[in-house]
């Protein structure tokens, strides 16, 4: 086969959540077809919540994604509360944030440790790494377990939380449990450094590729926070933030033939969300330990190498650990009390936003006066990244077309993985026409 | 004796049940030490067509997926349905309560007619091919999964509870959530989860499916005792139990 002639058809990229295909046909240096395809079975959640009580929404939509079920439950609960006009206590807000941190920690450790690291070590999965780097794998497993037990304590279980309800929590952790959790998080900090050192030792295998794009994430100025949970929509392409309720003017979703998931664009042809987007918008608000990680890897604000998303995740893992230690202090200082929740439904329509581990996530619901859902619309981080992945492909492939087919395939797969896509998520919730 | 080969496949679902396998942490290596995992797309790049035990996550929603599951069934000696989507159709079955064309228009708008967006009625795996063993729950319980796989690897038949969640809930010392005006499905849903939701103050919403002989009369008695509406009960039953027995009549 002559140079510049490749036929790559990765039917279902492995080590990602959900089903995606990579197709590249090139002849004599000319690209004939290059597509990031999403054939995942669509699941129609927005139709499924119609007619359901406001109390059941987060239980249903949590099932959009097993990996970011906490983010889906939290954003749904926030949107429902906004729609029916319920405010939650400061304690509830803080406990939920602590729950959200556990998911960032869990998801990032899973992604960097189990799904990305094998590429950097030249292994097909984490299993052969057990023999290659047993101590590192053991450390990663220990961190993953901590994250899961942290979720279990606050959310009632690891996946699909059962302690959230509109207006509050069904159960809050005791002060003793919080102190024990805080102690364990403090003790894990050296292990995070070990993982960072291991990734650093193979970071040279991260491809050197750049493509400037728009980065979108939540931004919070008051108080200045590296936010995952509060704030408005911010972009590296504009100074002003946009209120969460206006998210449709940001996402501008559209349907394309190569995908069962919708695509999104704002100021350019495509935009990116996720850890690198949050970093590019909010880096100066990272905790000191997280800043040290970014510095070690040479990750600077304005970075437009998508492969560096995994490094931004590493920095964020340290950030949420340090932020959680502080948050638990705040909870303990005020004392934790059980709360009674009384909510009366009313008609309304509103949105909510949180940062899922893989990027900004929007849900919107409308309810009738009995509190039954008459319309829903959700916009998933991976949807927002699909167009950006395609545009990255289009810039990357001409730059590497002289390399071997195996090398091109690996770099394309690694690129998809770097976005930490949740493909089944992205095909689950799309646009909806509200029933008038 | 050669180690049995295990392959894990996913269909329409959230992949949260596979995540519970990952969440076994070191125990995965111990559990699967007695087997060879030859395909697991979410975690590994290796692929294979030769396997003895197929573990299936997700429900079947498209014709091409029916073909795929039939192919997997023909290769596997033992087929295990993993989680609510695979065992009872799960939350995906809520879609079956609506007209399919309307569902598609609701989600995809004017683009709904495009060929790649086609969808059929949601089916559990057992509605398409024979299922040998089921691991219920949304998500699955890690301990129960370990028990079932370990039993099979040792050549034993795993048994899962045939009694309702109320039994485990009482044993856990929880106050009955019906006393707090929550429509809890504990009386008719299969135990084995350790009554995790009620233990966290959240009603049982039935993710494990009904016990083989649910005591529907008892459930009706409970509703009547707390002055609640039978429609409330039916609505809650639809969450994970859409288009499934038992139906409760007035």
Domains of chain A in start order, with CATH, are 55-356 (1.10.645.10)
pLDDT at A41: 62
Give B180's contacts in chain A (Cβ within 8 Å): none
Inter-chain CB pairs, A–B, below 8 Å: 168
Distance CA A368, CA A317 (A): 40
Query: CB distance A255–B16 less than 8 Å?
Result: no
pLDDT at B236: 83
Query: What's the pLDDT tens digit per position in A100-157?
Result: 999 999 999 999 988 888 888 888 777 778 877 888 889 999 999 999 999 999 999 9
Give B11's contacts in chain A (Cβ within 8 Å): 41
Distance CA A270, CA A386 (A): 8
Q: Which residues make beta-bridge pairs with A353?
A: A362
State yes or no: pLDDT of A12 exceeds 60.
yes
pLDDT at A16: 67
Domain B5-153 sits in CATH at 3.40.50.700
Cα A12–B63–A426 angle (5° rounding)? 45
Do the beta carbons of residue B133 and residue B81 sit within 8 Å?
A: yes
Residues near B30 by Cβ (< 8 Å), separated by ≥ 6? none
Query: CB distance A124–B107 less than 8 Å?
Result: no
DSSP string, A394-433: HHHHHHHTTS-HHHHHHHHHHHHHHT--BHHHHTT----P
pLDDT at A415: 94
pLDDT at A434: 29
Give A260's contacts in chain B (Cβ within 8 Å): 116-117
CB proximity B25 to A under 8 Å: yes
Checking A156-159 for CB contacts under 8 A at 24+ apart, the result is A156/B196, A156/B197, A156/B199, A156/B200, A156/B202, A157/B196, A157/B200, A158/A106, A158/B19, A158/B20, A158/B23, A158/B139, A159/A66, A159/A69, A159/B16, A159/B19, A159/B20, A159/B23, A159/B139
pLDDT at A142: 94
- Global pTM value: 0.92
Distance CA B207, CA A157 (A): 14
Nearest-Cα distance to chain B for A220, in Å, is 30
Q: Please choose, from the candidates A167, A154, A360, A368, the residue with its C-alpha nearest in 3D space to the C-alpha of residue A266.
A: A360
CB proximity B90 to A under 8 Å: yes
Checking B21-29 for CB contacts under 8 A at 24+ apart, the result is B21/B142, B21/B145, B22/A110, B22/A114, B22/A144, B23/A144, B23/A148, B23/A158, B23/A159, B23/B142, B24/B142, B24/B145, B24/B146, B25/A141, B25/A144, B25/A145, B26/A138, B26/A141, B27/B146, B29/A130
The number of beta carbons lying within 10 Å of the beta carbon of residue A332 is 13
Q: Is A6 helix (H, G, I), strand (E, B) or coil?
A: strand
CB proximity A42 to B under 8 Å: yes
Do the beta carbons of residue B239 and residue B191 sit within 8 Å?
A: no
Distance CA A140, CA A142 (A): 5
pLDDT at B115: 64
**Segments of chain B assigned E as strands:** 5-10, 36-40, 53-57, 78-82, 133-135
Query: What's the pLDDT tens digit per position in A306-330?
Result: 999 999 999 999 999 999 999 999 9
Distance CA A431, CA B110 (A): 10
Give A12's contacts in chain B (Cβ within 8 Å): 41
State yes or no: pLDDT of A404 exceeds 90.
yes
Query: What angle do the packed helices A309-334 and A175-201 form, to 10 degrees?
Result: 160
Distance CA A382, CA A123 (A): 25
Mean pLDDT on A363-384: 93
- Mind listing the pLDDT tens digit of every residue in chain B (250 residues)? 578 899 999 998 888 999 899 898 888 877 877 788 888 876 676 777 789 999 999 999 888 899 999 999 999 999 999 999 999 999 999 888 877 777 777 666 766 666 666 667 899 999 999 999 999 999 999 999 999 999 998 889 999 999 999 999 999 999 999 988 888 999 999 999 999 999 999 999 999 999 988 888 888 888 888 888 777 788 888 888 877 666 555 4
Report DSSP state, residue A91: H
Query: What's the pLDDT tens digit per position in A211-233?
Result: 999 999 999 999 999 999 999 99
State yes or no: pLDDT of A435 exceeds 60.
no
Cα B107–B113–B118 angle (5° rounding)? 75
pLDDT at B241: 81
Nearest-Cα distance to chain A for B210, in Å, is 18
Query: CB distance B201–A126 less than 8 Å?
Result: no
% of chain A surpassing 90 pLDDT: 75
Largest CA distance in chain A: 71
Average pLDDT value over all residues in chain A: 91
Q: Domain extents for chain B?
A: 5-153, 165-241
Q: Please choose, from the candidates B81, B175, B197, B70, the residue with its C-alpha nearest in 3D space to the C-alpha of residue B129.
A: B70
Q: Suggest the residue from B200, B205, B236 to mutate for an interface test with chain A (most A CBs closer than 10 A).
A: B200
Q: Please choose, from the candidates B156, B155, B178, B147, the residue with its C-alpha nearest in 3D space to the C-alpha of residue B165.
A: B178
Distance CA A294, CA A280 (A): 12
Which residue in the set A67, A163, A425 is minimally distant from B202, CB to CB? A163
Distance CA A389, CA A387 (A): 5
Distance CA A35, CA A23 (A): 5
Residue A431: pLDDT band with limits 50, 70, 90: very low
State yes or no: pLDDT of A298 exceeds 90.
yes
pLDDT at A428: 43
Query: What's the pLDDT tens digit per position in A248-291?
Result: 999 998 888 777 777 899 999 999 999 999 999 999 999 999 99
Residues near A254 by Cβ (< 8 Å), separated by ≥ 6? A262, A263, A264, A265
Query: CB distance A44–B104 less than 8 Å?
Result: yes
Query: Which of A6-10, A26-30, A338-342, B94-98 is the most confident on average?
Result: A26-30
Distance CA B163, CA B83 (A): 18
Query: CB distance A433–B105 less than 8 Å?
Result: yes
pLDDT at A21: 86
Q: Is B117 helix (H, G, I), strand (E, B) or coil?
A: helix
pLDDT at B108: 67
Q: Please choose, from the candidates A104, A57, A101, the residue with its C-alpha nearest in 3D space to the C-alpha of residue A82.
A: A57
pLDDT at B222: 86
> How many alpha carbons lie under 13 Å from residue A349 in its C-beta half-sphere?
10
pLDDT at B246: 61
State yes or no: pLDDT of A342 exceeds 90.
no
Query: What's the pLDDT tens digit per position in A26-43?
Result: 999 899 999 988 766 666
Q: Is A7 helix (H, G, I), strand (E, B) or coil?
A: strand
Alpha helices in A36-133, H assignment, sequence order: 45-48, 57-61, 69-84, 90-109, 117-120, 126-132
- How far CA A309 is from CA of A104, A189, B15, in Å, comes to 14, 21, 23
């Amino acid at each position: 086969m002559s140079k510049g002639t490749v036929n790559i058809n990765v039917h279902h990229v492995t080590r990602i959540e959900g089903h995606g295909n990579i197709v590249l046909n090139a002849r004599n240096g000319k690209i004939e077809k290059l597509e990031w395809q999403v054939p995942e079975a669509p699941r129609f959640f927005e139709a499924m919540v119609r007619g359901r009580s406001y109390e059941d929404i987060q239980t249903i939509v949590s099932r959009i994604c097993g990996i970011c079920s906490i983010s889906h439950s939290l954003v749904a609960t926030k949107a429902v509360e906004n729609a029916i006009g319920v405010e939650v206590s400061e304690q509830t807000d803080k406990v939920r944030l602590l729950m959200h941190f556990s998911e960032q920690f869990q998801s990032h450790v899973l992604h960097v440790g189990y799904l990305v690291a094998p590429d950097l070590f030249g292994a097909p999965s984490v299993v052969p790494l057990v023999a290659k780097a047993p101590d590192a794998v053991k450390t990663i497993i220990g961190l993953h377990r901590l994250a899961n037990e942290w979720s279990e304590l606050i959310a009632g279980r690891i996946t699909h939380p059962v302690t959230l309800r509109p207006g509050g929590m069904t159960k809050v952790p005791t002060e003793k449990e919080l102190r024990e959790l805080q102690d364990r998080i403090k003790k894990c900090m050296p292990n995070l450094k070990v993982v960072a050192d291991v990734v650093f030792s193979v970071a040279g295998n991260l491809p050197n590729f750049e493509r400037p794009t728009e980065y979108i994430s939540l931004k919070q100025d008051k108080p200045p926070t590296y936010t995952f949970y509060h704030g408005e929509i911010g972009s590296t392409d504009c100074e002003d933030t946009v209120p969460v309720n206006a998210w449709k003017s940001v996402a501008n979703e559209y349907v394309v033939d190569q995908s069962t998931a919708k695509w999104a664009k704002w100021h350019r042809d495509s935009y990116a969300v996720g850890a690198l987007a949050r970093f590019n918008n909010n880096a100066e608000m990272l905790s000191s330990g997280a800043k040290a990680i970014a510095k070690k890897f040479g990750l600077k604000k304005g970075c437009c190498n998508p492969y560096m998303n995994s490094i931004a995740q590493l920095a964020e893992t340290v950030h949420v650990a340090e932020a959680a230690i502080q948050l638990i202090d705040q909870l303990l200082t005020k004392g934790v009390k059980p709360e009674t929740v009384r909510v009366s439904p009313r008609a309304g329509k509103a949105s909510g936003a949180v940062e899922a581990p893989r990027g900004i996530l929007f849900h919107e619901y409308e309810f009738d006066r009995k509190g039954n859902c008459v319309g829903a619309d959700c916009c998933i981080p991976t949807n927002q990244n699909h167009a950006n992945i395609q545009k990255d492909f289009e810039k990357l492939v001409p730059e590497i077309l002289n390399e071997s087919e195996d090398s091109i395939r690996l770099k394309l797969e690694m690129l998809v993985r770097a976005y930490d896509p949740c493909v089944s998520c992205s095909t689950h919730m799309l646009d909806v026409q509200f029933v008038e | 004796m050669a180690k049995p080969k295990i392959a894990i496949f996913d269909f329409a679902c959230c992949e949260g049940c596979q995540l519970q396998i990952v969440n076994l942490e070191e125990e995965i290596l111990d559990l699967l030490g007695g087997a060879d995992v030859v395909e697991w797309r979410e975690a590994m790049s290796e692929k294979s067509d030769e396997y003895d035990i197929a573990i299936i996550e997700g429900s079947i929603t498209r014709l091409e997926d029916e073909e795929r599951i039939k192919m997997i069934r023909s290769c596997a000696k033992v087929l295990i349905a993993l989680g609510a989507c695979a065992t009872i159709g799960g939350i995906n079955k809520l879609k079956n309560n609506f007209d399919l064309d309307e569902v598609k228009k609701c989600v995809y708008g004017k683009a709904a007619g495009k060929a790649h967006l086609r969808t059929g009625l949601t089916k559990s795996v057992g509605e398409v091919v024979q299922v040998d063993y089921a691991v219920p729950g949304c998500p699955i319980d890690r301990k129960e999964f370990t028990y079932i796989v370990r039993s099979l690897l040792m050549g034993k038949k795993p048994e899962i509870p045939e009694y309702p969640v109320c039994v485990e809930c009482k044993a856990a010392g929880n106050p009955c959530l019906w006393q707090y005006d929550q429509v809890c499905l504990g009386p008719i849903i299969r135990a084995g989860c350790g009554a995790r939701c009620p233990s966290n103050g959240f009603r049982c919403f039935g993710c494990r499916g009904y016990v083989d002989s649910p005591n529907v009369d008892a459930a009706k008695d409970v509703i009547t005792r707390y002055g609640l509406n039978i429609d409330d009960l039916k609505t809650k039953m639809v969450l994970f139990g859409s288009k499934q027995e038992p139906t409760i009549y007035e």
